[in-house]
Amino acid sequence: MNLTTEAEHKAAVKEFRTLATDEETHHARLLVLRDAIHAFEEANGHNPGPPTTVAGRLQVEMFKRRLKQKQLAQLLEVGESRLSEVLRGRRAANGDFLRRMYQKLGIPAAEVLELTA
């Protein structure tokens, strides 16, 4: 399968999501769609890039380290509710919080300072 237009890509993604609800039945078709979608996205510069928000960066760290929110709060030495509010965008990350991201998670200071709320 070869996708050549944005419309074909959009239709393939829609079909993939529909078929994914019953993965066992549609496994072979899902693999074909997965590969075609990936090839199209690589060929056409579909790259989301690194996260630009505090919440996005924290979610990447949670994924990479296989941490639950509670474990990340412990690692950062902040309350679970504070972390939850930052992740949901209900509370801005103050200087202390950003410093903890740098010190406790090892995220480069320049990268931490470029993140938005």
88 falls within a domain: yes
The tally of domains found in the chain comes to 2
> 104 CB contacts (<8 Å, ≥6 apart)?
75, 76, 77
pLDDT grade for 71, boundaries at 50, 70 and 90:
very high
Residue range 81-117, pLDDT digits in tens:
999 999 999 999 999 999 999 999 999 999 999 998 7
pLDDT grade for 16, boundaries at 50, 70 and 90:
confident
Q: What pLDDT score does 73 carry? A: 96
1 falls within a domain: no
Q: Which domain holds residue 25?
A: 6-44
User: How many Å apart are CA 87 and CA 100, to the nearest integer?
Assistant: 15
Which CATH number covers residue 93?
Answer: 1.10.260.40
